[in-house]
Structure 1
Amino acid sequence: MTACRVCGGHIGSATYEVPAPALTSIMTLLDAPTRVFVCAGCGHAQSDDIPDIQAFYDTGYRISLNSENHDQIFAVSADGAITYRTDHQAALALRLLDLPEGASILDYGAAKADTLRKMTVSRSDLRPYVFDVSSDYAAAWQSWVPQAAQATYSVPDAWQGTFDAIMSHFVIEHVADPVGFMRDVRALLQPDGAFLFSIPDVAANPGDMAVADHLNHFSEASIAYALACAGFRLQTIDKTSFPGAFFVVARRIEMATQSAASSASAEDAAKQAREICEFWDQASGKLRDDTQNYARRKVAIYGAGFYGSWIYGRIGGSVDVVAFLDRNASLQGATHFGIPVLPPEELPTEAEALFIGLNPLKARAAIAAQPWLQRDGLDHVWL
């Protein structure tokens, strides 16, 4: 039996289980199986702890440190203009929080804190603070965060109960005790202080269910349950402004309430989580068959992100992967698992098949829009 990380209820067997390798959110392979457990009581889904989790986040999880200006593409407009992820997060956070003049705001689990930095460019009156469980990012803070407003590994006692707002972007999915994490945040806020956090929406991006270091896969039901237990009043769940993610705003209240999730909403969330797990079961089986069909033949993988990396982890030793294709210019020209990353227009002529490593909810439209991927004799292999 496994205890739910949100409501503490007992979960029986895993709903989804595949053998090693497991793939992390930073596209590294772990020699561990992937297992997902679904809680019928609160609608939460969760994965096993990864090996040596503290060391992983202290020295192994070096997100966006490969270059000073590294960022992820959020959107590309019809005229080719690019919107980067942290620019969009900064604008969204300012809109959702509606901070008063001179507000103190802590980025909790900050990494480079680029979102907070961009918020302070738009709002120079804000007083920024940063905290992370690694010291790797400290150099990125030095030019714009006062030294007294920086902390690593532990939060200073003097910060307790002092902040107008705290935000945490794509952190809580990684922690083994999400309710405890939220309680720690609550202790740092002033009365009625605001907590903004972003987490993946597994229903909108099913790949999240298979990410090894995403220990939590939240639903709206389990978000509400966790916040109530931690001493927060849920204010907003925005799942449209950032496709594939929840942006949540909650307010500190004086007493935590052991509020049960609505049985209907929890039941619906658990059903949806089980359906996503079933998709990954079927995808794993289909990929085994496809690997046999293309054994020792030359193929390419579209997507050097999670989906493409997951495919490579399953087929890399059995087929000849000659290239990854990716639209992100910051990845092009580099290598991924020792294989070149190319623009999609440069699909190698010797590739006989293209394995599609994209969100399956969007994959077919994305590939159909690129005529250079429709050449005669090229098989498309879908998850």
Structure 2
Amino acid sequence: MADLKRTVLYDLHLELGAKMVPFAGYQMPVQYPMGVLKEHLHTRAQAGLFDVSHMGQILLTAKSGRVEDAALALERLVPVDVAGLAEGRQRYAFFTNDAGGILDDLMVANRGDHLFLVVNAACKEADFAHLTAGLPDCDLGMVTDRALLALQGPAAEAALARLVPDVVDMRFMDVAIRQWDTAELWISRSGYTGEDGFEISVPNAFAEAFARKLLAMEEVAPIGLGARDSLRLEAGMCLYGHDIDEGTTPVEGNLTWAIQKARRAGGARAGGFPGAARILKDLADGPARRRVGLRPEGRAPMREGTEIFAGPEGGAPIGAVTSGGFGPSIEAPMAMAYLPADLAEGATVYGEVRGKRLPATIAPMPFQPTTYKR
């Protein structure tokens, strides 16, 4: 642990009784005394505060000064319609490689004269190098003096509005810059739980005071990585390096909703991104395999790495679980797996758990309905 980085809220986590674990090169809180199960359910019922300061925050500005040029430049690296992103709005995206695989997934926001990107912690240095090499017509800056907090759950709006009243006017995927005390907050109405909520970038100097203000509210509790993982899995969201990676195309990953018409065959700016030939072919013909949801029968979870078979006996595996666990809100096990694309929802497959093949049903995702404010 001594070689790991710490977020600016490290001392606060210890004060709150967090159990710290290594994650993406950082010491991060996996849970607090409440425990993972109660933290999960508290977020679904009220509001949870997550420290996600380990993630990468990147500013991208075209050398021309025009955000339109920055958007078109970024489209050289992502199969997403960035040019069509309105000011004050954010969109999910992913960097692809020449084989059509996913290098990382990220959020892109249009902030008027530049783009703001949030990337995964484990990939942020590689992403920054990838952007620098691929966008010589842009200036890039890695933000190193700001924390990132996520406030998630049905009471998130009421809690944040006590400090920043006009967040009530924001809708899902809106972004805004607001003041609190003398600090500039970069706010997006988004998150990684399936719940309504916000991600807030706060200057390091104000981060602890801001977090304490929120945690002093009765409905807000600190939440660790354990519940963050079960919340995002119930919401059917991918974890990079597990459910999607360099060997997975966005179409295989069931992320076709994130590739807008403008970037598809026949669109205004079709192709032009790494791996376009493979990705457009998958869109046209369908992939051989696809990420699906699984609902195992009984109570035993099928965890990452569980091999999936077509029948209860014999035969080679037809796929494997990439994320799996028990869903506290749905009170049942849940999993994601890559399986042959011709298997339909409702089909039964079998996961090998402790030497036994247990049935599971291919099920729609999300497992828990989302509650975004649209």
Ranked by relative contact order (alpha carbons within 8 Å, sequence separation 6 or more), the top structure is 2
TM bucket (normalised to shorter chain) is 0.3 to 0.5
TM-score by length of structure 2 reads 0.32
TM-score by length of structure 1 reads 0.32
Report the structure, 1 or 2, having the larger helix content.
1
